[in-house]
Amino acid sequence: MAGRDTNPNFMNGVPELLILRLLRKQEMYGYQIVECIRDRTNSVITIGEGVVYPVLHGLERDGALKSRRKRVNGRSRIYYSVTPEGRTRLAELSGSWNSLAAAIRKMLKGGQHVGAF
Amino acid sequence: MSGPFSELRERLLEAGIAPRYARRYVRELSDHLADLTAEEGREGRSHAEAESMALRRLGSIDDLASALIERREFQSWAVRAPWAIFGLAPIAFLAVAWSVALLILWAGWNIFLPQADSPFATSIGPIYGIENACFQTGRLIYFGAPIFVGWVIGMMAARQRLRAVWPVFGTSLVALIASAAQVHASRTRVADGIGHITMRFSFGSSVQDVSGNLAQAFLVVSLAVLPYAVWRLRRPKPLST
């Protein structure tokens, strides 16, 4: 059977996409990121409060994010920001998600597949 | 480590997560918990209630642990490639340490004992002299390296909550190599001839030689695994899942 790209899981890559998008313009720490995603998506998308960190660490390990420790109001926190590599990855993820969303929108608008037989 | 995440940390380490990732994850979760507790506190809850609510929001220990454990890239090299960490790396370290030791021995021999046929002379100057210090340093590195390697292996195993199989294998391997190693010295038979030091590995040809080497290996293993054995005996029982 010829190889064909599939969408194995629609939610695959969503946390990465949202995190990269959020951090594109400002650095944030984990708690801020989770709050921000919840606020901006009106709680439609909620990333597990604790499980955001493996995603962040994975992105950092891949070179898409960088982190630095910063002391704010007497508390030391790890702030994350996007690297140039992360911007490239964001563009790729955004592109694939936009085309996926457009395809789904088209389906939902009622495009009928006439003459299937 | 105490606190709500000590169990999580143990579970991560036992699952093979590299200590640096486990430490950082727990630290960030602790910060996150503090933020959530403060947020819940602002809603008018008592500290106990707020913390309980915050822990619920953060996720169960199972969820938090599996989120990191499922990602293979966070596993330590000792788990991903134990043969390299406990097999190749100790041998490489031993080779470097012995090279340094033999270089010191060779340099000391040619500088301080130019007339001696062997660097293993009985008289190598005053006890506090630089000659003696040089030879004793070389000797310390040579004999201490296998034990030091064993300690490092034990420390890594303890830090990463590894099972005993690979650390014992690595230490035994180092001990066997150490017991089989022999240093030979010879000097060119001309005036001020240069000294040569070579190393060979042999278990001897007689039963007596072999048993002597094995006894030496046993001694090295015993000294090398002692700190690890003490740690294992004093360690609380592993968590059951």
Model pLDDT for residues B67-81, shown as the tens digit of each residue: 899 888 899 998 889
pLDDT score, position A59 = 94
Range from A1-15, A43-57, B134-148, B227-241 carrying the lowest mean pLDDT: A1-15
Dihedral of the CA atoms A66, A68, A72, A77 (nearest 10)? 80
In-domain check, residue A113: no
Question: What's the pLDDT band for B146 if we cut at 50, 70, 90?
Answer: very high
- Length of chain B, in residues: 241
| H/E element, A32 | helix A30-40
- Residue A58 forms contact with B (CB below 8 Å): yes
Sign of CA dihedral B91, B94, B96, B98: negative
Q: Tell me the mean pLDDT in the region B232-241.
A: 67
Can you spell out the DSSP letters for chain B? --STTHHHHHHHHHTTB-HHHHHHHHHHHHHHHHHHHHHHHHTT--HHHHHHHHHHHH--HHHHHHHHHT-GGGB-HHHH-HHIIIIIHHHHHHHHHHHHHHHHHHHHHHHH-TT-S-SS-S--S-TTSHHHHHHHHHHHHHHHHHHHHHHHHHHHHHHTT--SHHHHHHHHHHHHHHHHEEEEEEE-SSTTPPEEEEEEE---SSHHHHHHHHHHHHHHHHHHHHHHHHHHHHSPPPPP-
The pLDDT assigned to B232 comes to 82
Using DSSP's 3-state secondary structure scheme, residue A28 falls into strand
Q: Would the CB atoms of B25 and A54 count as touching at under 8 Å? A: yes
Q: For B68, which of A30, A54, A77 is closest by C-beta distance? A: A54
Using CB atoms, pick whichever of A53, A58, A61 lies closest to residue B29. Answer: A53
pLDDT value, residue B195: 73
Please give the model's pTM, rounded to 2 decimal places.
0.74
Question: Do the domain assignments include residue A7?
Answer: no
CB atoms B59 and A51 under 8 Å: yes
Q: Is B231 exposed, middle or buried (0-12, 13-18, 19+ CB in 10 A)?
A: middle
pLDDT tens per residue, range B87-132: 999 999 999 999 999 898 888 888 877 777 777 766 666 667 777 7
- Residue A116 burial (10 A CB sphere; 0-12, 13-18, 19+): exposed
- Would the CB atoms of B28 and A30 count as touching at under 8 Å? yes
Nearest CA distance, A1 vs chain B (angstrom): 30
The answer to the question of residue A1 being in a domain is no
This model of the complex carries an ipTM of 0.78
Question: Domain containing A76 — which CATH number?
Answer: 1.10.10.10
Domain-located, residue A88: yes
| Total of domains in chain A | 1
Between the CA of residue B68 and those of A4, A16, A109, B75, B146, what are the distances in Å?
Answer: 30, 15, 40, 9, 35
pLDDT of A1 over the 60 cut: no
Chain A CA closest to residue B17 = A54
Q: Does the pLDDT at position B161 exceed 90?
A: no
Q: Do A50 and B21 touch (CB under 8 A)?
A: no
Q: How many residues does chain A have?
A: 117
Assigned domain for A59 exists: yes
Q: Which band of pLDDT confidence, cut at 50, 70 and 90, is reported for residue B213?
A: confident
Asked if the Cβ–Cβ distance from A58 to B73 is below 8 Å, we say: yes
- Distance (Å, rounded) from C-alpha B54 to C-alpha A103? 39
Q: Give the separation between CA B135 and CA B116, rounded to whole angstroms.
A: 14
| Neighbouring-strand partners of residue A75 | A72
* CB-CB under 8 Å, B68 with A50: no
- Best of B35, B63, B66, B71 to mutate (most A CBs within 10 Å, chain A): B35
List beta partners, residue B182. Answer: B200
Residues of A in contact with B73 (CB under 8 A): 58, 61
Nearest CB to B28 within list A48, A53, A58? A53
Q: Is residue A64 part of a domain?
A: yes
Domain presence at residue A114 = no
Measured in angstroms, the CA of A74 and the nearest CA of chain B are apart by 12
Q: Is the pLDDT of residue A20 over 90?
A: yes
Residue A67: inside a domain:
yes
User: Average pLDDT, stretch B184-193?
Assistant: 69
What is the β-pairing status of strands B195-201 and B181-187?
A: antiparallel
Domain span holding position A52: 14-102
